[in-house]
Amino acid sequence: MAVSEGPLVVGVDSSTQSTKVLVVDAANGRTVAHGQAPHTVSADHESDPEQWWDALRQALGQCGPAVRQAAAVSVAGQQHGLVTLDGQGRPVRPALLWNDVRCAPQRDRLVEALGGPAAWAERTGSVPAPSFTAPKWRWLSETEPGAAAATARVRLPHDFLTERLTGQGTTDRGDASGTGWWTPDDSGAGGYDAEVLGHIGLDPALLPRVLGAGEAAGTVRALPDLPLPAGALVASGTGDNMAAALGLGLRPGQPVLSLGTSGTVYAVSPRRPADPSGTVAGFADARGGWLPLACTLNCTLAVDRVAALLGRDREAVEAGGEAVLLPFLDGERTPHLPHASGLVYGLRHATSGGQVLQAAYDGAVFALLRALDRVLEGADAPDAPVLLIGGGAQGTAWRETVLRLSGRPVRVPRARELVALGAAAQAAGLLLGEDPAHVARRWDTAQGPAYPAVARDDAALDRIAAVLDDADTLLRRR
């Protein structure tokens, strides 16, 4: 291992599909070791939390001697997942993940019971989506009352791993803001909402303590097969989107478009969002500000599925044609169409397979850009380039579609694994007493190839908007 300039820190990304670990030099952001281990997800969008712990230990073990020198660690995890534990901290049942929309009826009743969308936006900053944790608990209580009764602790995915490391039940304001049962106050701190918890039947004693920005969750315990040194600091951790924002060192108004299993658009803001349409979730960030964010369920995997159905490589797109494809294969969160399926419109004899595939890219990007307009309302950086991240950011077809439909310049950061890198920046900030966003900017994480703006394809945008509006009733059918 090369000699490091500063202390070593560990950043963890426990995502839907795998756990990734980076060992990073806190002085310069250089990755000195990395590891990765997969997760298994059921067809019902469930996952056993024990495999996250096993994957974390495996990924840490792949990092060699560097990980045993780490002075601090932070865990970022997929948002919204419902983790139910017994009194010994063991899972009662598999976790319900963010993309499980079975609780859509419970979500609708919850929103209506407590005043409707506008009241929710004012109350919590967000109108809960079916992906949020609160309706998931209500669904569990109604459909599996035995599992709910056996639950002694309710956690989010990053909370579960942090608690295994420290033995302390904690969470952070960023991830807590995606539950539906945490309400911010005027200072940005906030607390659990007794009325929401009462309505869904959740005892607040089952929930973890919410840490403030920069507060430690504890220290690493001595545990079997855990390569981390006992006594290393453990930061609060956060949700994956909040960690990616840290990893980029975002300044207010800088738009981010993330292309992964889901698609997300977000920006850091000093102002608390409150979008009554429910398009924008008014999340807290991992510091003291806000992270207005919109998420789509169908992004790279949906477009890859269309490519497979067409028998084409994912890059084999062709320009032209008038086909519209809305790739809502698993229902959709933005727009709120939990029961939708994919829709193709406008096929002609002359339509080619490559044009249909390009229409799938256009449909996925259209949903994200429409949401981005709401995310950036009131932002003070109208000409800032879109930071394009996630696995899809490396694809030419994705990048060119974003350029053509947004009309904005695009930059693709060279830094990879931004969620784990953001967790590492949080760990470094805790260790060094610095703002983690400042740490990431010192590491120069957002630099990368820049692509100038091109003329926006308004004809394609108008065509997709018209089909989406006309098909609304059809898309809402079960």
The secondary element (H helix, E strand) that includes residue 175 is helix 173-176
User: 398-402 — which CB contacts under 8 Å span 24+ positions?
Assistant: 398/259, 398/300, 398/361, 398/365, 399/451, 401/358, 401/361, 401/362, 401/365, 402/257, 402/365, 402/369
Nearest to 260 by CA among 394, 152, 353, 443: 394
Q: In a structure prediction context, what are the per-residue pLDDT tens digits for the chain, which is 478 residues long?
A: 556 788 999 999 999 999 999 999 999 999 999 999 999 999 999 999 999 999 999 999 999 999 999 999 999 999 999 999 999 999 999 999 988 889 999 999 999 999 999 999 999 999 998 889 999 999 999 999 999 999 999 999 999 999 999 999 999 999 999 999 999 876 667 899 999 999 999 999 999 999 998 999 999 999 999 999 999 999 999 999 999 999 999 999 999 999 988 899 999 998 888 899 888 999 999 998 999 999 898 999 999 999 999 999 999 999 999 999 999 998 888 888 888 999 999 999 999 999 999 999 999 999 999 999 999 987 766 678 999 998 999 999 999 999 999 999 999 999 989 999 999 999 999 999 999 999 999 999 999 999 999 999 999 999 999 999 888 777 777 6
| Residues sharing a CB contact under 8 Å with residue 462, sequence separation 6 or more, in sequence order | none
Assign residue 305 a region: left if phi > 0, alpha if psi is -120 to 50, beta otherwise?
Answer: alpha
In the annotation, is 240 catalytic?
yes
Would you say 165 and 210 are in contact if contact means Cβ atoms under 8 Å apart? no
How far is 423 from 262, CA to CA, in rounded Å? 20
Active-site hit among 159, 240, 275, 330:
240
User: pTM of the full predicted structure?
Assistant: 0.89
How far is 17 from 395, CA to CA, in rounded Å? 20
| Residues sharing a CB contact under 8 Å with residue 308, sequence separation 6 or more, in sequence order | none
Residue 425 identity (one-letter amino acid): A
Q: How many CB atoms lie within 10 A of CB 432?
A: 18
Nearest to 454 by CA among 402, 410, 403: 403
How many residues appear in the chain? Answer: 478
| SS3 call for 98 | coil
The partner residues of 22 in beta bridges, in order of sequence, read: 11, 34
